[in-house]
Every structure is written in C-alpha cells, then in structure tokens.
Structure 1
Amino acid sequence: MLMKKTKLTALGGVLAASVLTLTACGVSNSGGGTEAGGGTEAGGAETEAASGTDWSNCTPGAESTDVASLEASADQDQDITIGAFNGWDESFAAAHLMKYVLEEDGYTVDIQAFDAAPGYTGVANGDIDFLMDTWLPLTHADYIEQYAADMEAQGCWYDNAKLTIAVNEDSPAQSIADLATMGDEYGNRIVGIEAGAGLTKTTQEAAIPTYGLEDYEFVVSSTPAMLAELGTATDAGENIAVTLWRPHWAYDAFPVRDLEDPEGAMGDAEIIYNFSRTGFTEENPRVSQLLKNLVIDDENLSSLENIMFSEENFGGGDNDAAVEQWVSENQQFVEDWKAGALA
C-alpha cells in the first residue's frame, strides 16, 4: 500500500501519465456530457461495480457516529490531499468544507483539481487521499468498475443529483407535460446551456419528444447565458423555463422550482459518494468517520454554492473565504456533522 510520504513524487507520475487540467476552483458545472454531473463522462452504463455493490442503494449518513472519541492524533497522517473535479461546483464545495473543518482541527489540507480520469487514477495509486464527488450508479460507474479494488467507499452525502427543467416559483406549470399546452406562458421557449452538455442532449432527445414540446424553441446557449436570462426573468416577474440540474446554486439565488417529470425523461436522481485510497480508513479513522458523517441537503448545498460561485458573492474567486463565511452562518451544521447528527 502506497504511504502518504511518497505522494509528492508519485503524483508527478500521475501528471505525466494522464491528461490533467488544473483550473481555478469553482468553474460552473456544465450539467452533464463529457465533463459534468448527470452525463455519461465515462460512457457509464448503469452497472454494479466489481465488488457487486448496488450503488443505487445508499442513505447519506447511514454510518454516522460521534467523532468526539476520535482525536486528530488518532490519524497516522494529518497531511491530507483531496481531489476535486474541474467544472463541478459541488466537488469544490464539499472539498473546501472538509478542508475548513480539518484545518480547524490541526490538519494540513491540499485540494487538487483534476479531470475525472486522472482523479480516480490518483486515488487508486494512493497519490490522493480521497474524492468527494462520485456520481453513482450511472455517471462514474465505469471508473468504479475499473478501480474498485484499489479504493474504499467512505459513505454517500447527497442523494438528489439529477437533470431538471425548472421554472420560476410562481409560474403555472407543475409538470413538464404542462408545458405542451402552456407555450404562450413561457414564450414558447426553453432556455438551455452548452451544445455539448449531457443535459442538452437529454432535453433534445428525451424530454422534448416525450412531452410533445417540438413547437418550443429550445435555445442552446451557455450556462452563464441561461443563468442571466433566469435572473432577468425572475427579477421582472416573468415566466421562464430553463434546463438546470441539482445540485446548483441557482436554487438558492433565484426563486425557481423543478417541474415534475412523470415519464422520467430527464433520468433518475443519482447519489454522490466519497471514495478514498486503500488503507485510508485504518490509517485515518477520524477523517474517514467525518466523511461518513457528512450529509448535505439541497438547501444547505445550494446556499453554500451560492456564496462560493455566484457573481453576486465570491464568484469562485476565494473558496476558502466563502466557506468560512458560510460556516459562520451555519455553525450548528458543523457541530452536528462532528456529532454524526446530520442524517
């Protein structure tokens, strides 16, 4: 088993062997596709990993327990490396939240930004301690299938990761099906994001034909453009329909809600897991337990991401300061997390 002392040199091998892009933290998740949640990044067919585990069956916080009896000194190594996925806001939100709590307890934490493939390679090789943004049972299934023998599951912390069509809270439609007869209410438009996103493909190939929305103009634009239209419409009290996904800070920044999807055209919700390198549980029992204790619901996650990434707040410019502000307003969350009381 590769010990942490070798990480600085071993990580160079990962960088040389993999296509790795280090970017500024907090760029917007593009809602599916080749590098975003809810898509088919690994080509992932829904499958059980090599261990035979049913990854669709996990309750966040199910393994929770109070860490009061586990002092930081119980952990063999207090230099922790967390991997986060480029372009996935929730990846950096969870990683920086963990960093804040660990550093308050005396650990040294380094967050490294990766594309998914080198991120999983790094964990499996022991160069990264853990990742906190594995979407299962679909999006990252192929990576787990490949690396399950060299990683340890550390619980799941969110169970509502999904693609959506959303509208302003006070608009008339309750279901995507309602849009077919309410075109005039929404200007016969659905505002989308990037052309290459999985969310765009799902909307075009599944939601529109399933619900008979061919008469709508599906505006393929960009995530910033969609959010700008959403903000303008909600500020003006106008109806709007947009493609969106959970988790996203827009649910905290704007008065929006998801339309029901009775036909399941947008796909099922996924679960977000933590995965660590082999041996991490034994060597770092306290951090392992904190990972298993973590549960973030939609309200907390969207408010944290809003402070971190929206242009009205930190805009992705200082994730540590953003988390510090959020924690100052949500100290009970941290206390409950350590006590195993978030579930």
Structure 2
Amino acid sequence: MKLTRMTQIGGLAAASLLALSACGASNEGGASNEGGGEPAGGGEETAAEDWADCTPGAESADTTGMEADATTDITIGAFNGWDESFAAAHLTKHVLEEDGYTVDVQAFEAAPGFTGVAQGDIDFLMDAWLPLTHADYIEQYGEDLEAQGCWYNNAKLTIAVNEDSPAQSIADLAEMGDEYGNRIVGIEPGAGLTKTTQESAIPTYGLEDYEFVVSSTPAMLSELQSAVDSGDNIAVTLWRPHWAYDAFPVRDLEDPEGAMGGAEVIYNFSRTGFTEENPKVSQLLKNLVLDDEHLSSLENVMFSEEGHGGENNDAAVDEWVADNQDFIDDWKAGALSGA
C-alpha cells in the first residue's frame, strides 16, 4: 500500500526520550531524536498510535508454492551501527539466495537509506523504528514508500540486572544500593539511553545517590562480563534488541512509572512498485517475525567476540540457520506469527 504522509511526531512527551541513540552494539551515539519537533497535538498522537499498532506476522501467507519473482536482483539497505538491521538483512539474504535470488546488502546512515529506497535505488530496508525514531523520514518520503509489515515490537530502553540479583523493579534500586555497589553502569555520554537514564529514570525513582557511570558500550559489556564471572550483582543500561540478552544471564527491571519510555515497532519499507514486481519477496517480508530469543541469539552469533564479531555476517547467519532450520521453514510457510 502507498503511505499517506503523516504529520511529524517526534515529541510525544516523555516517550520522545525513546528515540534511540543505542540500537545495536556499535551505535552508541549514532541516532538522535530524529523525529525532532515539539510535542505533537491530538491528531498527531493518533498517527503515532497507528504506527505503534502493528502485530508482526499479521499479513502472513504461505510462500512455499510461489515461484521466484521475475526480478531476482535485490538490494537491501541496512543502517550503519544498528546490529538488528544487519541481522535481519543478512538473514533475509540467506533465505532469498536459497530461492535463487542475487542479494546485495548495502550499509547506509538512516537518512541516505530512506532516501535511496524512496528514489528506487534500494529495494527495501528492514529497520524503520516507529512511531518515534524514524517518524520524520516517513513524513518526508511516505508517498514514495510501501509498508511491508513489521517484524519486531519490543524495541525499548532498559535498565537490566543479572538474573539472580534481588531487584525486580527500577524502584527497588533506591533501597538496594549496597547490593549493586551504588552504581549503574551506562554507555556513551551522547546516547539517548544515557540521556533518558539521567533525566528521567534517576529522578523518577530517587536514584540520585547512585553513581551513574557514563562510559562506552564495550566498557559496559566488559563490566557486565566481569560481574557475571565473579558472581557480583550489577545494574546496567541496556536496550532491546541486543545480543547481551543471549550472551549473559540478565533480565530487565520492571519500569512501573514508564521512565525509560515505551516500546517501538520495527517495520520493513520498500520502494513503490515493489509489491507488484516482487510479490514473493514482499510476502516473505510480511511473514517475518523475530522475537527476543531468536533475534538476540542471531545477533550474539553475528556480533559478540565469542561469535563472528561482526566480521562475516553471512557466515554467522549460515551458522545460526544450521541450528534454527525450523524457524526458516516456518518463515517460508507463514507460520511464525503462530509459532
């Protein structure tokens, strides 16, 4: 379907803090609040809620009986530094190449990525975060894009702890400082996650007595590894999706006040005319559903030091698929939404 232009929705009160600067292991300060602007009015909030209301796999259908499209050269855009972008793109590349397509995954910053799709130079991208992070690109290019379903609906900022530690909620930390060394280990100073923690979570939950360690994503992961190895409790700023949820025994603290913001949805968008010209690929995109378990395990193989370290994404996907062939079969059959 061709999208109608939507009004700019970058504000949306406290939820605007969710415009992520950290969506992958290396995008520590890469994205800002790209929506920008002032808090939206009532009509604009309705547009935002429409984008948030997407069920991954809702348009699923069996593709196993479909022939390959007449056009088999496919270009997928992925966003530099956004791990889930490359995970989804190279996983899709693997499946399409099994069916005889020739697929090229190209890396872009978000702005030229959306521009390339809108101009028809890229067939599709798989990492549009809505209703906030990429709202301005949909506002700008919506008439030149086709929605191809959403595949993940739990993209959010978190404060996480080792799974065997006592705190269940961020609110618990105020009375459990000794358990966590009175520290929260963060990432880069320019990250949206850092800003949200400093300006929202800490004052909301009365954590001013905690030392908020602003460092880097690798340093945070190193401290997390050390704490897990030594059996110490630790609280870190984290985000979903991230491979740390597969690599370490960690869990999110509940956020009863919503200080870290709500969850976003990750969409596919293609150039106009793609659905008609490539109906099989279009349907496969609509079939894709990645939950936290599958996505974090895939990213762990692709990007962790124990995996491929981001150096050979295709080999990492091959390795992951060898252990998850049922996922691929269900994807092609349109059965992931009910799996």
Shared fold, TM over 0.5: yes
Q: In 1, are the aligned partners of 2:24 and 2:84 still within 8 Å (CA)?
A: no
Q: Does 1:40 align with 2:36?
A: no
- Listed one character per residue, the Cα deviations across residues 19-50 of structure 1 (whole Å, up to 9, x for unaligned) are xxxxxxx972435x5x24xx513427678599
* Alpha-carbon displacement from aligned partner over 1:279-331 (angstroms, at most 9, x marks no partner): 00000000000000000000000000000000111000100000000000000
- The separation in 1 between residues aligned to 2:205 and 2:45, in whole angstroms, is 34
Answer whether contact 2:303 2:309 (CA < 8 A) is retained. Answer: yes
Residues 1:254 and 2:248 aligned together? yes
Quick one: which amino acid aligns to residue 289 of structure 2? V
Query: Match for 1:30 among 8, 27, 31?
Result: 27
In 2, Cα distance between equivalents of 1:321 and 1:268? 34
Residue identity opposite 1:231 in structure 2: Q
Determine if the alignment matches structure 1 residue 118 to structure 2 residue 115: no
2:173 corresponds to 1:179: yes
From 94, 97, 122, give the equivalent of 1:100: 94
Q: Which runs of 5+ in 2 are unaligned?
A: 1-22
Asked whether the 8 Å contact 2:202–2:208 carries over to 1, the reply is yes
Quote the residue 2:209 is aligned against.
215
Partner of residue 3, structure 2:
none
Does structure 2 retain, via aligned residues, the 8 Å contact 1:51–1:148? no
Q: What is aligned with 2:258?
A: 264
Are 2:62 and 1:66 aligned?
yes
**SS of alignment partner, residue 77 of structure 1:** coil
For 2:74 and 2:27, how far apart are their aligned partners in 1? 28
User: In structure 1, what is the Cα distance between the partners aligned to 2:74 and 2:225?
Assistant: 39
CA distance in 1, matches of 2:48, 2:81: 30
CA contact (8 A) 2:118 2:144 kept: yes
* Partner SS, residue 335 of structure 2: coil
* Partner deviation per Cα, 1:84-113 (whole Å, 9 max, x = no partner): 000100000000000000011110000110
Aligned residues of 1:50 and 1:145 also touching (Cα < 8 A): no
State the Cα deviation string for residues 185-205 of structure 1 (Å, max 9, x = none).
000000000000000000000
Change (3 A) 1:250 1:53: closer
Shift of 1:161: 0.2
Q: Per-residue displacement from partner, 1:102-132 (whole Å, max 9, x unpaired)?
A: 0111100001100000000000000000000
- Once the two structures are TM-superposed, the CA of residue 70 in structure 1 deviates from its matched residue by 1.4
Counterpart of 1:146 in structure 2 is: 140
Q: Aligned equivalents of 1:113 and 1:234: distance in 2?
A: 34
Provide structure 1 residue ranges, at least 5 long, that are not aligned to the other structure: 1-25
The Cα of 1:235 is off from its aligned counterpart by 1.1
2:160 counterpart of 1:166? yes
Within the candidate set 184, 191, 199, 1:197 is matched to 191
1:271–1:187 CA distance, 2 compared to 1 (3 A): same
1:296 and 2:296 aligned: no
Shift of 1:243: 0.2
One-letter amino acid of the structure 2 residue matched with residue 43 of structure 1: G
8 Å CA contact 1:50, 1:148 repeated in 2: no
Describe the SS at the equivalent of 2:50: coil
The aligned length equals 312
In 1, are the aligned partners of 2:25 and 2:242 still within 8 Å (CA)? Answer: no
Asked if the contact 1:48–1:55 (Cα under 8 Å) also holds between the matched residues in 2, the reply is no
* Matched letter for residue 28 of structure 1: A
Compute the TM-score of the two structures, normalised by the length of structure 2: 0.89
Distance 1:151 1:50, change over 3 A: farther
* Paired position in structure 2 for 1:236: 230
* Paired residue secondary structure (2:51): coil
Alignment deviations for residues 236-257 of structure 1 (CA, whole Å, 9 cap, x no partner): 1110000000000000000000
Residue 74 of structure 2 is matched in structure 1 by 80
Rounded to whole Å, the distance in 2 between the matches of 1:56 and 1:256 is 27
Amino acid in structure 2 at the alignment position of 1:164: T
**Contact 1:27–1:86 (CA<8 Å) still a contact in 2?**
no
> Structure 2: which amino acid aligns with 1:256?
V
Match of 1:281 in 2: 275
- The one-letter code sitting in structure 2 at the alignment partner of 1:41 is E
Residues 49 and 131 in structure 2, CA contact (< 8 A), matched pair in contact too = no
CA distance in 2, matches of 1:135, 1:279: 22
Q: Deviations over 1:244-284 (max 9, x none)?
A: 00000000000000000000000000000000000000000
Alpha-carbon distance in structure 1 between the residues aligned to 2:47 and 2:100:
35
User: Which residue matches 1:319?
Assistant: 313
- Look up the SS of the partner of 1:55 in the other structure: helix
